[in-house]
Amino acid sequence: MQTLRRKDILGLEEMSAEEINLILETARSMREIMQRKIKKVPALRGRSVLNLFYEPSTRTKASFELAQKYMSSDAVSVAGTSSSLVKGETLKDTVRNVEVMGVECVIMRHPVSGSSHYLARNVEASVINAGDGMHEHPTQGLLDMFTIWEHKGRLEELKVVIVGDIRHSRVARSNLWGLQKMGAEVVVAGPPTMMPPDLDVFGVKHFTSIEEAVADADVVMALRLQQERQESGFFPSMREYAETYGLNSKRLEHTREDLLIMHPGPINRGVELSSDLADGPRSVIMDQVAAGVAVRMALLYLLLGGTKE
């Protein structure tokens, strides 16, 4: 069996196309397991996993927990409160305590960028980053790529448009790196205040006109608009955002018939994405969610499965 020759999954920036390919191929087998009547394989029996979520999450947490159950691993989930701010136990102490109880893999979501790097340095267990601040959300990037790959049969030479708050988005960062490594062309669109400074470093082009950006696109991905960004002055109102940058049927009138519409969830309906698109025939949003479980099963399997020397 092929395995990933790495201890941790911290981001897609540091991952090679070969590794991403291996994960996607493995996820395809995992999805087959999910479609069985009895969705359980003994692959990770006797292996222990910790889900450590310092930020609220429904989709990602449920997805990881189900993936762990389908693989027969033993998992515990802990909702953390951000350390230091509440003078609680430090992250390092928390995880070291759980580690001596036998945990071999830690799935962590954390509001601070780089905290998964910090954790990975300090524990022997494998660390899977389930979203760190504004940095990366590699499993989301992988499930997005898996979804596109399933529908289009390839990733090379596809044009993918990511619309919205790229600046504050870990989902966008993971997709920017991952998709380009796999040969896709990525462009970003949205208000200039929501673009990361020195955008060139990602090797993508920026459009302020959504119509221009989505011309000839194979995939368009809307990002969630966060209300708190309005308070910081990144955009004036939900209404203006929806009118200028929101995806709706009218705005996508002149796009390809087979355009895929994606969203990492949760959706602000009528703001970044209209309901008719989200629930329409070109939407693959539910496929993304399903792919999430398969991709996470694949990652757990590749990190923990097989015989370890």
Partner 1 sequence: MKPLFIKGGRVIDPSRDYDQTTDILIENGSVIKMKKDLKPPSGAEVIDAEGLVVTPGLIDMHVHLRDPGQEYKEDITSGTRAAAAGGFTAVAAMPNTDPVTDDPSMVRYAYDKAVKAPARVYPIGALTRGQQGKELAELGRMKHAGAVAFSDDGEPVVNGMMMRNALQYAAGFDALVIAHEEDPTLSAKGMMHEGSVSSVLGLRGMPSAAEEAMLARDLMILRITGGSLHIAHVSTAGSVELLREARAEGLNVTAEVTPHHLLLTDRLVKNSGYSTNSKVNPPLRAERDRQALWEGLLDGTIDVIASDHAPHHTDDKDMEYDFAPFGIAGLETTLPLMLDEVNAERVKEFTLPVLIEKLTAAPARILKIAGGTLQEGSPADITIMDPARSFIVEPESWQSKSRNTPFAGRRLTGAPLYTIVDGRITMKEGVLAE
**Which positions lie near partner 1, rule CB under 8 A?**
13, 83-85, 90-92, 110-115, 117-118, 121, 132-136, 167, 170, 173, 196-202
156 or 228: CB nearest partner 1: 228
Find, among 87, 72, 85, 3, the residue nearest to 42 by Cα.
72
Nearest distance from residue 242's CB to partner 1, in Å? 26
48-53/185-189 β-pairing: unpaired
SS3 sequence of 159-219: EEEEECCCCCCHHHHHHHHHHHHCCCEEEEECCHHHCCCCHHHHCCEEECCHHHHHCCCCE
Nearest distance from residue 107's CB to partner 1, in Å? 17
Token code pair at residue 15: 């991952």
93 or 243: CB nearest partner 1: 93
Find, among 111, 51, 64, 63, the residue nearest to 86 by Cα.
111
128 three-class SS: strand
126-132/159-163 β-pairing: unpaired
Nearest distance from residue 172's CB to partner 1, in Å? 10
Q: From the centroid of its chain, how far is CA 51?
A: 16
73 or 94: CB nearest partner 1: 94
8 or 65: CB nearest partner 1: 8
Report whether the peptide linkage leading into residue 266 is cis, meaning its omega lies within 30 degrees of zero: yes
Find, among 52, 49, 124, the residue nearest to 91 by Cα.
52
Find, among 78, 74, 101, 112, the residue nearest to 304 by Cα.
74
54 or 301: CB nearest partner 1: 54
Nearest distance from residue 111's CB to partner 1, in Å? 8
Nearest distance from residue 234's CB to partner 1, in Å? 11
Rounded Cα distance between 63 and 57, Å, is: 10
95 or 294: CB nearest partner 1: 95
Nearest distance from residue 197's CB to partner 1, in Å? 5
Nearest distance from residue 232's CB to partner 1, in Å? 8
Cα 268 to Cα 133, 181, 208, 227, 271, distances in angstroms: 20, 30, 20, 10, 5
101 or 201: CB nearest partner 1: 201
